[in-house]
Amino acid sequence: MSEEYVDLFDSDDRPLSRSVPKRQAHQQGLWHRSAHIWIYDRTGNILMQKRALTKDTFPGLWDISVAGHISAGETPAEGALRELREEIGLEVQPDRLELLTVIHMAYPYPRLGWFNREHCYVYLLESDADPTTFTLQREEVEAVRFFTPEEFSRLTLGERGVAVPHEDYYRQIRDAIVKKTGSL
């Protein structure tokens, strides 16, 4: 598999007309883009993925439905659609993705020697697809399942070591989905 390249951006998400290997962007703390796709069903249940045990960061923890880096030359929506196909085998039309927000994240991974700086495009996707029919990319995803909003809150805001620690972010996602679906 060839090394993945990402486009670089300044801290305000303006393009710098330069691409580097993803690994280099992480090691040097260079701004690049990623996409998070939160899948929910019409009743407000939220799909989460359990990260593969082989992942460098947060192996075996519950996390975003689908997430990944935007490859060099891709738009955020194109990258989001590619990640949906790659990680869970789900094909959707671009107009089904709803951009919720763009989050500018900067945080260290001292154990790996990284300082990650990402402009993260956060999408919502309503889908009643049965997760048991998904084709999981085993290098990335161990399992997927829907959680009710209450279960989602307990999982993401409760005991440490069960979900990737992003408490405020999880609240924002839960609240947006509850508002859209009228659940809870």
Instruction: Give all domains of the chain, ordered by start, each with its CATH number.
Output: 5-181 (3.90.79.10)
Question: What average pLDDT does range 16-21 have in this prediction?
Answer: 97
pLDDT at position 162 is: 93
Q: Using alpha carbons, select from 40, 3, 9, 35 the residue that is nearest to residue 22.
A: 3
Strands 31-40 and 66-69: antiparallel
pLDDT over 90 (residue 159) = no
pLDDT over 60 (residue 1) = no
Question: What average pLDDT does range 23-34 have in this prediction?
Answer: 96
What is the value of pTM for the model shown? 0.94
Residue 141 β-bridge partners:
51
Lowest mean pLDDT among 19-33, 104-118, 164-178: 104-118
Question: What average pLDDT does range 131-149 have in this prediction?
Answer: 97
The residue with greater pLDDT, 111 or 84, is 84
What mean pLDDT value characterizes the chain? 95
Model pLDDT for residues 62-81, shown as the tens digit of each residue: 999 999 999 999 999 999 99
Place of tokens 């962007």: 25
Residue 118 β-bridge partners:
32, 105
Instruction: Grade residue 97 by pLDDT with cuts at 50, 70 and 90.
Output: very high
pLDDT over 90 (residue 179) = yes
